[in-house]
């Protein structure tokens, strides 16, 4: 009887096969920072006034004259941002002589003044005045999509395989990242960004699982940490990209472009041999193990392959809520609250965005180093670092296997736990 840890020690715990698989699965996380660019870089209260071009049908006016005749003033003397005078069918002489008194909300949209960006969802969808609360709704809808994707594709991975549970979210992510950039209305944008969140949540969870199930215990921490590292680098690149283009639709399309490559190669990602063994598909697992050994240029004894069929891993599926996962929930809540409102911190939003990603890079590298030295069992030493490196949404199912008493359990990583661990 051969446990999977022994198999990995023979074919290579982190050889070329595992490195290619991990890189391919982690790469889409580089693009995920671009998913939120539309509602992060918005300048939520831009300079503006109501569009009052109706008066230009009566006479050619300068901008100052037009505003004086058609837009009321606030108590401080500035032009109103949300009100206008009701249009009338008068001659320009009568309008100048008698003036306009009755006001209404902006009927024909807004004219925006000097802005930090060339276009944002605020200006494209007019999310100002009575619609200003829609920015918060957009953020909520996106995070709700991430939650649903995480909860939905967790059980899906148990039933239909880790490979399918990464392929389908990857396709969903690409399709709706693309459609989000092309949405003509706020309601289509809300629907699109919700499904984009579903794809992002489902992929982020399962790419970590699939990659770590092929990695041996000596490098197991790399499965989660490298995934987070790609995301951190993507955050830094996003800051420079937005600084250069200043258009949210273009930034969204830039994020979709690499995902188009991902949905081509994602179909060639190998299934988890562990999952295949759990499902009794021994021959398929043997073939994948042999392929991995060949790519790693490691000979695998024929006798070991023969023993693989007896290496049944007892799978038990359950949800669990533990104290450290409640801490993880609080950590994510703080990070998202700070991140989604970073425009109000008072610093350059481009520099702030860059620092958000830049600070995570050494944090992830430190996590990898600490986990290599102390192991995942030393929760008191590496717990906070491991939680940062393994930021997986709350409620994801994790697997329990039949193990010997000397088993070292991982307190944070949603990866298989067998005798080799």
Burial of residue 344 (number of CB atoms within 10 Å: 0-12, 13-18, 19+): exposed
> What pLDDT, on the 0 to 100 scale, is given for residue 136?
87
Same domain as 76, residue 14: no
Does the global pTM surpass 0.85? no
Q: Are 188 and 274 within one domain?
A: yes
Where on the phi/psi map is residue 312: left (φ > 0), alpha (ψ -120 to 50), or beta?
beta
Mean pLDDT of 11-34: 91
Report the pLDDT value the prediction gives residue 87, as an integer from 0 to 100: 92
The number of folded domains in the chain is 2
Q: Is the pLDDT of residue 11 over 70?
A: yes
DSSP classification of residue 399: E
135 and 266 share one domain: yes
pLDDT tens by residue, 376-404: 554 434 444 444 444 433 333 333 333 43
- Cα–Cα distances (Å) from 355 to 1, 43, 340, 392, in that order, read 50, 19, 14, 22
Q: Do residues 225 and 293 both lie within one domain?
A: yes
Each residue's pLDDT tens digit, 308-325 = 654 444 334 344 445 556
pLDDT at 361: 92
| Domain of residue 58, residue span | 48-114
Is 410 part of any domain? Answer: no
DSSP 50: E
Residues 74 and 196 in one domain: no
Question: In sequence order, what are the residues at sequence separation of 6 or more whose Cβ sits closer than 8 angstroms to the Cβ of residue 353?
Answer: 40, 235, 238, 239, 242, 342
Tell me: do 87 and 18 sit in the same domain.
Answer: no
At 323, list the tokens: 């104290």
Same domain, 69 and 194: no
* Residue ending a domain, choose from 61, 91, 114: 114
Range in 135-144, 321-330, 336-345 with the lowest mean pLDDT: 321-330
Lowest mean pLDDT among 167-171, 221-225, 240-244, 298-302: 298-302
**Is 403 inside a domain boundary?**
no
User: Please, which residues have CB within 8 angstroms of residue 178's CB and are 6 or more apart in sequence?
Assistant: 253, 256
């Amino acid at each position: 009887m051969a446990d999977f840890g022994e198999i990995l020690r023979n074919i290579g715990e982190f050889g070329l096969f595992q490195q290619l698989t991990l890189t391919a699965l982690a790469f889409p996380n580089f693009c995920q920072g671009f998913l939120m660019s539309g509602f992060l870089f918005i300048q939520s209260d831009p300079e503006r006034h109501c569009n009052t071009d109706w008066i230009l049908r009566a006479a050619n006016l300068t901008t100052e004259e037009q505003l004086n005749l058609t837009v009321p003033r606030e108590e401080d003397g500035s032009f109103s941002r949300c009100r206008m005078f009701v249009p009338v069918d008068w001659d320009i002489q009568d309008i100048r002589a008698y003036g306009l008194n009755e006001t209404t909300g902006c009927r024909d949209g807004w004219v925006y003044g000097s802005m930090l960006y060339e276009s944002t969802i605020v200006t494209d969808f007019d999310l100002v005045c009575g619609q200003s609360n829609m920015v918060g709704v957009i953020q909520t809808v996106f995070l709700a999509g991430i939650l649903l994707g995480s909860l939905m594709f967790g059980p899906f991975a148990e039933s239909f395989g880790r490979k399918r549970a990464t392929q389908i979210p990857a396709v969903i992510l690409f399709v709706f990242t693309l459609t989000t950039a092309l949405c003509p209305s706020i309601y289509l944008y809300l629907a699109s960004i919700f499904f984009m969140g579903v794809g992002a949540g489902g992929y982020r969870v399962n790419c970590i699982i699939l990659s770590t199930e092929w990695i041996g215990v000596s490098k197991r921490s790399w499965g989660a940490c490298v995934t987070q590292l790609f995301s951190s680098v993507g955050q830094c690149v996003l800051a420079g990209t937005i600084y250069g283009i200043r258009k949210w639709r273009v930034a969204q399309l830039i994020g979709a472009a690499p995902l188009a490559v991902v949905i081509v190669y994602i179909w060639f990602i190998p299934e988890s041999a562990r999952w295949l063994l759990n499902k009794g598909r021994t021959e398929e697992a043997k073939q994948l193990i042999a392929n991995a050994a060949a790519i790693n240029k490691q000979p695998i004894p024929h006798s070991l392959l023969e023993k693989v069929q007896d290496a049944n891993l007892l799978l038990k599926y359950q949800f669990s809520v533990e104290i450290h996962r409640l801490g993880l929930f609080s950590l994510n809540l703080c990070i998202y609250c700070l991140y989604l409102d970073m425009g109000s911190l008072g610093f350059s939003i481009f520099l702030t965005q860059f620092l958000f990603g830049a600070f995570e890079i050494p944090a992830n590298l430190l996590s990898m180093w600490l986990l290599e030295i102390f192991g995942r069992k030393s929760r008191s030493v590496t717990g906070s670092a491991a939680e940062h490196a393994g930021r997986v949404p709350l409620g994801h199912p994790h697997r329990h296997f039949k193990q010997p008493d000397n088993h070292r359990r991982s307190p944070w990583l949603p990866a298989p736990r067998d005798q080799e661990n």
